[in-house]
Chain A
Amino acid sequence: EVQLVESGGGLVQPGGSLRLSCVASGFTFSNHWMSWVRQAPGKGLEWVANIKEDGSEEYYVDPVKGRFTVYRDNAKDSLYLQMHSLRADDTAVYYCAREMMRGDYSEYFQDWGQGTLVTVSS
Chain B
Amino acid sequence: EIVLTQSPGTLSLSPGERATLSCRASQSISSNYLVWYQQKPGQAPRLLIYGASSRATGIPDRFSGSGSGTDFTLTISRLEPEDFAVYYCQHYKTFGQGTKVEIK
Contacts and interface: CB of A to CB of B under 8 A. Distances in A.
Interface of A: 37, 44-47, 50, 61, 95, 100, 102, 105-115
A106 B93 contact: yes
Interface in B30-78: 32-33, 35, 37, 39, 43-47, 50-51, 56
Given A44-B98, A47-B94, A114-B44, 18 more contacts: A44-B97, A45-B45, A45-B90, A95-B44, A95-B45, A100-B50, A105-B92, A106-B93, A107-B50, A108-B35, A108-B47, A108-B50, A108-B90, A110-B47, A110-B56, A111-B47, A112-B46, A115-B44
A105 B95 contact: no
A100 B45 CA distance: 15
A47 B95 contact: yes
A45 B45 CA distance: 9
B88 interface: yes
A44 B95 contact: yes
Interface in B11-31: none
Nearest to B94: A47
A109 B36 CA distance: 10
15 contacts: A44-B95, A44-B96, A44-B98, A45-B39, A61-B93, A100-B50, A102-B32, A102-B33, A105-B33, A109-B37, A109-B45, A110-B47, A111-B47, A112-B44, A112-B45
